[in-house]
Chains A and B, each alone.
Chain A
Amino acid sequence: MSTFAVPSELESEIDELISHYPEKRSASLMLLHAVQEHFGWVSKDAIEWIAAKLELKPINIFELVTFYPMFRQEPAGKYQFKVCRTLSCALGGSDKLFKHLCGKFSLDAHKHGLQTTKDGRFSVEFVECLASCGTAPVMMCNEGFYEGVTNAKADEIVTKCSA
């Protein structure tokens, strides 16, 4: 038996989201967001739960998790840093910023994909264009958005998270 349980508050939020669409399947991405925001990641059980809720096969949801880069099949750190890697930010020094953050958290700046510190507090990841090219380099920390991030500014943001 799966121990996966969706709290009633989240489920009513989900029911509301489903009501926005003439066809239930359309709510897939919004449900994945809601579940990931609540649990921190999308587990196999969560995929099955969403599929059942939308009267779909689990594969219909799983193929979304593997296609859309924002969905995670494993937990990320409590504070997740997404550093923009694309051209304007690269010209603005995003490589330096990424290396600085990786160094700070003892992570490997040459590794691809999301990396998380052993204590599960911080994750760092290079992502593609975040659409704020005029204030490069930019990054996100969870839902927060930061522009013109120097190493010093990055340190401040990390300190604020750690406080």
Chain B
Amino acid sequence: MPQEYRLILKHADQPGYTPDIDCYLKHGGYGALKKVLALKPRDLGEGKTQSPQEFIREEVKLSGLRGRGGAGFSAGLKWSFVDRKGGKPIYLICNADESEPGTFKDRQIIHKDPHQLVEGMILSCWANDVKLAYIYIRGEMPEGAKLLNKALKEARERKFLGKDILGSGYDLEIHVHRGAGAYICGEETGLIESLEGKRAYPRIKPPYFPAVLGLYMCPTIVNNVETLCHVTHIVNMGGAEYAKLGTPNNTGTRIVSLSGDVKKPGYFEVEVGKATIGELINDPAFGGGLRDGRKLQAIIPGGSSSKVLKAGEKFKLKKKNKDGEMAIVETDLLDLPYDFDSLMGAGTMSGSGAIIVIDDSRDIVDCLANLAEFYAHESCGQCTPCREGSLWMNKALHRMTHGEGRKADADYLLHIAQNIQGRTICAFGEACAWPVLSFVKKFKPEFEARGAADEAKRKGAGTSQKFAAHPDQQT
């Protein structure tokens, strides 16, 4: 039976645990910071030395930590891309713009244990020679911004932050920057534009890789809240020890946000890959199963932008068999280990670690229409395929859920979505296309039936079709 393994949220929900610095210190807080500041350069032999900062960066690489924000990219590798020779200042930004539908993990950390994030940030800044850093928190979390400001003030008062940190000669300042309701700010280059005081239009890569040309065209590291918290634990445990948590290539723990049609929605911290999707949904230690009498219809496995999985789907995954040889193993949706690689193998992603469960009482067309409205609202408008396409998809789904659908709308939706993905500056194009592509492909009979029923109703009522067929559909 898999159980929760609380590393990040170890103290968060304990009775009497408060977000102030005294409580954090009482629980060993800022110990990792003291530890790294005491490190001496290491002699690697042959006249080579390794600075303490390099040592910690190597530890993070060794830990196998993968970003918890959505892409699951190696954090150590991301840090290694930073241009340290150009002589420009290096910035670090904590991405606390948590707004992927389904996700509510960073909120727990910020509200319940803000100093853990602050310490993780200080460590990450120190390891990367950063002197100025920002926490970009979404505008709709005013209380979180206040708690973080208070935590930063407390850290400054105790000399963990500011000039000459704990007498080490290292200076660092961190400020809280508030967003203002735009989902696109979670995209790292959009976030950087927003932090520069502009509309959050994502930048094109290349050349604007944040590690080289980020904030103010300087090398910049953008890491998710949860990712930065893990750095504290990697320093405390050592990278190799940390890497023993979870499964190979999917190390550590991660906080899974579970919502939708389960008995016990909530957040659960587990070792990555040690629990399956089915266990997370059905186990009494986690979601507790679907409501009585309900059956599973679909699962959105990694935030609303991930491709939906249909109940009963089977996937062919490469796995080690009993003899330790790699073999193709047919795996049921519910038996998929909840980790980065297994979900990728199933054609979707674990994204921000957010599972939304949809039971058989729900209208699948309504569900997609809800998400399409979200993406239509949140497209930044910079690239034509996304700006127009997200609105067209929303329009088509709106009419389908308001009695004006057509059978051909299913193909129409696929057609638009296919013309968005891969044709935009940032990944929002995929984020809005993937739900449509996966919902419509996997539930095509439902979508066609919905449109056909509307058509039959209109025919019966003797009214002409309100919507003329799109030119693309007349072939």
Residues of A within 8 A of B (CB): 20-23, 25-30, 32-33, 54, 60, 63-64, 67-71, 82, 85-88, 90-91, 127-136, 140, 143, 145
Contacts and interface: CB of A to CB of B under 8 A. Distances in A.
Q: Which of B98, B104, B175, B182 has the most CB of A within 10 A?
A: B104
A87 B357 CA distance: 10
A25 B196 contact: yes
Interface in B211-270: 216, 257-261, 265-267
List 3 tightest A-B contacts by C-beta distance, closest first: A68-B180, A28-B197, A133-B259
B265 A128 contact: no
A30 B374 contact: no
Contact of B175 (A20, A69, A130, A132): A20
Contacts of B197: 23, 25-29, 54, 60, 64
Interface of B: 98-104, 106-107, 132, 138-143, 175, 177-183, 194-200, 216, 257-261, 265-267, 300, 304, 354, 356, 358, 362, 367, 370-371, 373-374, 377-378, 380
A135 B265 contact: yes
B132 A91 contact: no
13 contacts: A29-B177, A29-B179, A29-B197, A60-B198, A68-B181, A82-B140, A85-B373, A91-B260, A129-B304, A131-B138, A133-B260, A133-B356, A134-B104
A64 B260 CA distance: 34
Contacts of B370: 85-87, 90
A33 B197 CA distance: 12
Nearest to A145: B143
B23 to A, nearest CB: 22
B180 A69 contact: yes
Contacts of B216: 22-23
Given A69-B180, A88-B260, A129-B100, A23 B196 contact: yes
A87 B362 CA distance: 11
Given A86-B370, A128-B181, 18 more contacts: A23-B197, A25-B196, A25-B197, A26-B177, A26-B197, A27-B197, A33-B139, A86-B304, A87-B102, A87-B370, A88-B102, A91-B362, A129-B183, A131-B106, A132-B107, A133-B104, A133-B354, A134-B104
A134 B356 contact: no
B141 A91 contact: no
Contacts of B141: 131
Contacts of A20: 175, 177
Nearest to A65: B180
A18 to B, nearest CB: 11
A119 B414 CA distance: 47
Contacts of A70: 139-140, 180-181
A131 B109 CA distance: 13
Contacts of B371: 86-87
Contacts of B177: 20, 26, 29-30
B180 A134 contact: no
Contact of A29 (B194, B265, B304, B374): B194
A86 B200 CA distance: 21
A83 to B, nearest CB: 12
B180 A32 contact: yes
A29 B261 contact: no
A135 to B, nearest CB: 7
A85 B371 CA distance: 10
Contacts of B265: 88, 133-136
Contact of A87 (B107, B180, B198, B260): B260
A87 B138 CA distance: 19
B180 A128 contact: no
A129 B374 contact: yes
Nearest to A54: B197
A125 to B, nearest CB: 11
A128 B377 contact: yes
A87 B182 contact: no
